[in-house]
Amino acid sequence: QVQLVQSGAEVKKPGASVKVSCKASGYTFTSYDINWVRQATGQGLEWMGWMNPNSGNTGYAQKFQGRVTMTRNTSISTAYMELSSLRSEDTAVYYCARGDSNVLTGPWGQGTLVTVSS
C-alpha cells in the first residue's frame, strides 16, 4: 500500500541540527511532492516547506528560510528534512506528507518527535 515511513524520535541539544527521513513506498516517489509540517504538543499545524522529488526543487516557509533544507535520494525513495540551529521552541512532532500542488492529499508519515533540550 501507499505509505510514508519516518525515522525515529530524536533528542538534540540547543544549537544542534536534526535530519528526519521519510521513506515512500507503494507509488512512484518522483511523481508527487513531499511537504513537511510540524506540530508542537497541543498546538496547531505549521507548514515548513515542500520538495519536488523529481527535480529537487524546494519551497520553504519564510519562518524557516536559512534554517531548513529539504533533500531526497531517489534511488531509495526517501526524502529528508534537516533543521539547524535548534532551539527549545523547535520541540515538536514533524510530519512528511505527500502532496499535489500543495494540497496534502496524503498519505502522511507517522510523525517524528524531535525534542530539543539541554
Site residues (vs another protein, CB under 8 A): 35, 37, 44-47, 50, 59, 61-62, 95, 97, 101-111
Nearest distance from residue 69's CB to another protein, in Å? 17
CA distance 55 to 71: 10
Residue 26: Cβ within 10 Å count: 11
Of 25 and 110, CB closest to another protein: 110
Of 53 and 109, CB closest to another protein: 109
Of 61 and 68, CB closest to another protein: 61
Assigned C-alpha cell, 107: 498519505
Q: What separation, in Å, do the N-terminal and C-terminal C-alpha atoms of the chain show?
A: 40
